[in-house]
Amino acid sequence: MRKVTDHLAKELGIEFIYGGDIGCYTLAEAYPYEMIDWVICMGAGIGIANGMSQIIDSKKQKLIAFIGDSTFFHSGIQPLLNAIKNNINMTIIIFNNDWTAMTGHQEHVATPREYIKHFGIKSRIDSKGLSFITFLESLYLNNLIVTGAYNLDKLERIFSRTLTNDGVNIIVIKDECALEKKRRLKLETRKSNMKYNEIYYTISDSCIKCNECIERLGCPAINAETINVKINDISELKKELRYYIDEARCIPDICPGICKNVCPNNFIRKTIINPQLKD
Ligand SMILES: Cc1ncc(C[n+]2csc(CCOP(=O)(O)OP(=O)(O)O)c2C)c(N)n1
């Protein structure tokens, strides 16, 4: 999205205004995204965007409001209905990760019931819940797009097409929170006694440090550190920047390795270790 908004700002002189909300996506406030202009309380992303729409120059300024699915059910529905009623020009990005991730992965009304059966809390499993997408579809919106989180080219195309559209545009980014999915799959794997391939992503020493992976992807597993490198036999040292993928943060069993596609020079490698062969 940052790539698209930077481009539209440069080519068409549009200023994008970003309404933030409370959830993991509040981190979009920080480098490298820096895409949040306010964070007040749950629901205030769409809520304040409603008010902003009354005072901005709608030709040159465009509103984008972010919200997570849990926050949406808590206090995002009302400002959305207000935006629909008044046909306000704004794009709402809903992160449908199926959980209330930031506060510790509590379930919400649209968390798939089969995900929470491991918790063993019978009353909650038996509660009916609802389908998030069916709920949104019932609003008969003119522009509702549902997409996954891992296809960057597709996301770029959707943002390019949508962010300057008039009226209420909703883009739902639908993929389960990677941390919870990893935990859930681990539990299931342990029960079934199955062994999976181990996957690692690494950055080659030939990396030219163009910064595309850090600036454009912002994946928390990709880091840069200063290391001492020997420059000749008499152990003279010089400082050098090294880019690396932190194994503890990388989630290769969930993420399809989008960093590999982001690197313009093919310096990110995927290695697969088959547990059968390892034994
Ligand atoms: C009134 C209020 N109640 C509870 C909280 C605690 N809280 C912080 S973020 C959050 C919800 C996060 O869930 P979601 O919006 O789905 O985003 P995620 O963290 O899953 O990305 C909650 C309940 C709060 N900030 N304000």
**Ligand 1 atom with minimal separation from the 177 CA:** 20
Rounded Cα–Cα distance for residues 116 and 6 (Å):
40
Average pLDDT score over the chain: 92
What SS3 class is residue 258?
helix
Q: What is the pTM of this model?
A: 0.93
pLDDT at 137 over 90: yes
Q: What is the CA radius of gyration of the chain?
A: 22
pLDDT at 120 over 70: no
* Ligand 1 pocket list (CB less than 6 A): 22-25, 42, 68-71, 95, 97, 99-103
Give the residue extent of every domain in the chain: 2-184, 198-278
Q: Measured in angstroms, how far is the CA atom of residue 132 from the centroid of ligand 1?
A: 17
**Ligand 1 atom with minimal separation from the 25 CA:** 21
What ranges in 42-163 are assigned the alpha helix state H?
A: 44-52, 69-71, 77-85, 113-116, 122-126, 132-137, 152-162
Q: Which two tokens stand for residue 173?
A: 């980014």
> What CATH fold (topology level) applies to the domain 198-278?
Alpha-Beta Plaits (3.30.70)
pLDDT in tens, 189-245: 777 777 778 899 999 999 999 999 998 898 999 999 999 888 777 678 889 899 999
Rounded Cα–Cα distance for residues 110 and 112 (Å):
6
* Identical topology for domains 2-184 and 198-278: no
Mean pLDDT lowest among 42-46, 87-91, 192-196, 223-227: 192-196
Q: Measured in angstroms, how far is the CA atom of residue 92 from the centroid of ligand 1?
A: 17
Compare 253 and 46 and report the one with higher pLDDT. 46
> What CATH fold (topology level) applies to the domain 2-184?
Rossmann fold (3.40.50)
Mean pLDDT lowest among 41-55, 57-71, 239-253: 239-253
